[in-house]
Amino acid sequence: MLGIDTNVLIRYLIRDDEAQFEKARRLIRREVSAGRRIFLSLLVLLEAEWVLRSRYGLSKTEIAATVSALLGAVDIQLEDEPAVEEALYVWNDNAADFTDCLIGVRNRRLGCSATATFDTRAARIAGFSTA
C-alpha cells in the first residue's frame, strides 16, 4: 500500500497541472496494477477538503460527492472509513465544517463524552458542547 500526500491527490482530482496530473495518474495506476491500494490518511482528507473549498471554490455538494467517490473506490483505502462515512452523513445535515464533523465523530469513537468548542456552528452538532 502506498500513502499519498494531499498535493498528489489534488493534482489527480483537479487536473489543473497536466504534467503533475500525469505523474499522479501513472503513480496510482502503477500501484493498482501491482495489486496494491492507495492510502489516504485523515490528515490528507481534511487538507484536501480545505484546498477544494478554499482554493478551488468547490461547493459542499461537490466536495461531499468527491469524498463519497473516494470511499467507494476499491483501490483506495481511507483511514478509519466508518468515521469518514459518519462524518459525511453528519456534515450533510449541519452547517458546521466537515473537519468539525470528523473531529466530533472521531472523538466519540475514541471514548470522549463530548467535544468542547467555541465554534457556534459545531456546537449545534450532537456530541459537541460550548466551551
Spans of all domains in the chain: 1-79, 81-131
Contact by Cβ (8 Å): 105, 90: yes
Q: Report the chain's terminal Cα–Cα distance, integer Å.
A: 40
Q: What does 61-76 look like in DSSP terms, one character per residue?
A: HHHHHHHHHHHH-TTE
- CATH code of domain 1-79: 3.40.50.1010
Looking up cell 462524518, which residue turns up? Answer: 87
Q: Tell me the pLDDT tens digit for each residue of 91-116.
A: 998 899 999 999 999 999 999 999 99
Q: Which residues contact 48 (CB under 8 A, 6 or more apart)?
A: 6, 9, 10, 13, 40
Residue 4: band (very low, low, confident or very high) from pLDDT cuts 50, 70, 90: very high
Q: Tell me the pLDDT tens digit for each residue of 48-66.
A: 999 999 999 999 999 999 9
The 3-state DSSP class for residue 3 equals strand
Q: Tell me the pLDDT tens digit for each residue of 72-82.
A: 999 999 999 99
Proportion of the chain above pLDDT 70, given as a percent = 100
